[in-house]
Chains A and B, each alone.
Chain A
Amino acid sequence: MKWNIKDAEHWGWKKYPEGALILEGGNAAYYKTGGWRTDKPAWDEEKCTQCLICWISCPDSSIIVKDEKWDSFDYDHCKGCGICAKVCPADAISMHPEGGEE
């Protein structure tokens, strides 16, 4: 975190950058929206054809691709919308209740 915004809510007026400027573009990544989920995606490596359509369809940039290969879900940010499971042409992603046994 280049710009330390922990406790920003409690800062005195002098501490806020002028003009309400957000100094570190992209720092939303430090805000975890994973807690929004009620359903969690799971990936089946066997079925995956590495088409990467899930990656390009995710509203939350929550599918990580490394070296042109499917790597992982970013569970810190995944909101469990289920788009990835729906668009996967190989049925390689399935949704499961968050915290449930299945």
Chain B
Amino acid sequence: MATIKELSRKPELLTGGHRLCAGCGASVAVRQVLLGANDQVIGGIATGCLEVSTTPYPFSAWKIPFIHNAFENAAATISGVESAYNALKRKGKIEKEMKFVAFGGDGGTYDIGLQSLSGAMERGHNMVYVCYDNGAYMNTGIQRSSSTPFGASTTTSPAGKVRPGKPQQRKDLAQIMAAHNIPYVAQASISHWKDLVKKAEKAFSVEGPAFLNIMAPCPRGWRTPNEITIEIAKISVQTGYWPLYEVEDGEWKLNFKPKALKPITDFLKPQGRFRHLFKPGNEHLLETFQVEIDKNWSRLKKRCGVE
């Protein structure tokens, strides 16, 4: 894999001048993922923060051929682009090597986009799907998604007098993708750039579908100061909220193996969306959260053959 210095020589494929919030994790995710590509990349995206902020007519921050279609169909749309590439290459109309990537937030991926993603992965298209996961429908005003953590206050699962935020545990999409038996699935974080770029490289180089789930915190939705976006992503990894692992041809491998996980409260305390969990009387909710994290961590370790 290239060193960071070598990576710095690559052209910036996402320019500045986009309208994402100061401190947004999504654009960091995009920049790091695209550093893993070595051929011509063609990109697509689901409606969401990243899309509206990078393509406000007549401006586009994408220095690659790019398409936005609708909210739930980034995967289907890029599968169509990849199909066209196959056809045109076969007919001798295109010669260049090209790679295809679809971006979607957790909204357009876990929920409304799940069918389209599953279909594209199942059909075996040679493409990468990248989910930038900030844990809610941020663009429309921080509404809950199936990726929103337990207990988080969102505008459609607010913390109130009788309900303390989202009652459900979040969905494990990387596992679902691994169950599609595609060549490569990985979970990565913008805080661990080396691991992320390496995974992106693998994703772009495999023959067939690859799925990357990227931790991309949102200062607005998480109620955190702009400057700690990378920091809080790091803590999400260290507390086991966002384990770094990959599934390569069905082999599960844990990439980050701390001796002990930091307590989940390290992740929750800095975020305003969990403030209510720290009120007296809500200790049991913090416990529930920690129990679920520990359970998932054990299960993941076992699956990866780690003690």
Contacts and interface: CB of A to CB of B under 8 A. Distances in A.
B59 A30 contact: yes
A79 B185 CA distance: 33
B54 interface: yes
B190 interface: yes
Contact of B15 (A29, A37, A78, A83): A29
Nearest to B62: A25
Contacts of A65: 8
Contacts of A59: 20, 22-28, 31, 229
A53 B22 contact: no
B62 A26 contact: yes
B226 A53 contact: no
Contact of B17 (A32, A80, A81): A32
B8 A25 contact: no
Given A22-B55, A26-B62, A27-B59, A57 B230 contact: yes
Nearest to B233: A57
A72 interface: no
B222 to A, nearest CB: 14
Nearest to A29: B15
**Interface size bracket, A side:** 35 or more
A5 B58 contact: yes
Interface string B18-37: 11111111111001100100
Interface in A38-83: 50-53, 55-62, 65, 68, 74, 76-83
Q: Chain A contact residues: over half helix, strand or loop, or mixed?
A: loop
Given A53-B193, A68-B5, A81-B23, A60 B16 contact: yes
Contacts of B228: 86
A24 interface: yes
Nearest to B14: A61
A24 B60 contact: yes
A74 B8 contact: no
A13 interface: no
Contact of B230 (A20, A74, A78, A86): A86
A80 B65 contact: no
A30 B18 CA distance: 10
Contacts of B59: 5, 22, 27-28, 30-31
A60 to B, nearest CB: 4
Given A30-B17, A82-B227, A55 B8 contact: yes
A88 to B, nearest CB: 11
10 contacts: A8-B58, A25-B60, A26-B15, A26-B60, A51-B4, A58-B31, A59-B20, A65-B8, A81-B229, A83-B23
